[in-house]
């Protein structure tokens, strides 16, 4: 009898462990200086009722943090990652190297860009075959959020 009660109770315990408020979209950027441009993604997702989280981590300055975030993302319930970076914008590509989740890159016009963000756009878009990163327009974090919403609503 005790065993039967435990067998019935186990699934309830598992359900309690699932965080129903877990974010679906991770919004990541290479520097705090990217925040003003990337806030548009958070705002767009919020208006659509899509839960997101915002993190600052640099592919060049904190490669281990980026790798760990990407490796754990799917397990934590994330479904899409939006990654904004300027200059030699490695962040979206490095994230994509460590996760199977779709990654949407946002090239940013960093203060010290010598090419008005074109450097970041090429760094994000020109990924090697087999490791895709979607790329929206320069500073167009809002479009990244719209694309993330479309991915979320089209997946089964």
Q: In this structure, what is the dihedral angle of CA atoms 124, 125, 129, 133, given to the nearest 10 degrees? A: 70
**x/- contact string, 52-81, with ligand RP5 (CB under 6 A)?**
------x-----------------------
Closest CA to 148 of 22, 29, 51: 51
Q: Where are the alpha helices (DSSP H) in the chain?
A: 2-17, 35-47, 63-73, 91-98, 118-125, 141-154
Q: Which of 52, 110, 140, 143 binds ligand RP5 (CB under 6 A)?
A: 110
Query: Per CB under 6 A, which region of 40-48, 63-71, 73-81, 83-91 contacts ligand RP5?
Result: 83-91
Exposure string over 44-56, b if 16+ CB within 10 A, otherwise e: bbeeeebebebeb
Q: Which of 38, 66, 81, 108 binds ligand RP5 (CB under 6 A)?
A: 108
Closest CB 46 distance from ligand RP5, rounded Å: 22
Cβ proximity to ligand RP5: between 23 and 117 the closer is 117
What separation in angstroms does the CA of 155 have from each of 4, 27, 48, 80, 95?
Answer: 37, 19, 17, 11, 21
92 is an interface residue for ligand RP5 by CB under 6 A: no
143 is an interface residue for ligand RP5 by CB under 6 A: no
Q: Which of 87, 104, 106, 135 binds ligand RP5 (CB under 6 A)?
A: 87
Return the residues of window 23-42 that contact ligand RP5 according to CB under 6 A: 30-31, 33-34
140 is an interface residue for ligand RP5 by CB under 6 A: no
85 is an interface residue for ligand RP5 by CB under 6 A: yes
Closest CA to 38 of 116, 136, 115: 136
Closest CA to 23 of 67, 82, 71: 82
Closest CB 124 distance from ligand RP5, rounded Å: 11
């Amino acid at each position: 009898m005790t065993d039967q009660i435990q067998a019935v109770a186990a699934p309830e315990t598992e359900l309690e462990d699932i965080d129903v408020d877990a974010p679906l979209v991770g919004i990541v950027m290479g520097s705090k200086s990217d925040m003003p441009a990337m806030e548009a993604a958070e705002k767009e997702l919020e208006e659509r009722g899509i839960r997101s989280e915002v993190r600052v981590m640099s592919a060049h300055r904190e490669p281990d943090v980026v790798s760990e975030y990407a490796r754990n993302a799917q397990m934590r319930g994330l479904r899409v990652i939006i990654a904004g970076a300027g200059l030699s914008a490695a962040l979206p590509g490095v994230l994509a190297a460590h996760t199977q989740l779709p990654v949407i890159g946002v090239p940013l016009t960093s203060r010290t860009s010598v090419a008005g963000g074109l450097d970041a756009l090429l760094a994000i878009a020109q990924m090697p075959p087999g490791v895709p990163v979607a790329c929206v327009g320069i500073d167009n974090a809002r479009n990244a959020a719209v694309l993330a919403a479309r991915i979320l609503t089209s997946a089964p």
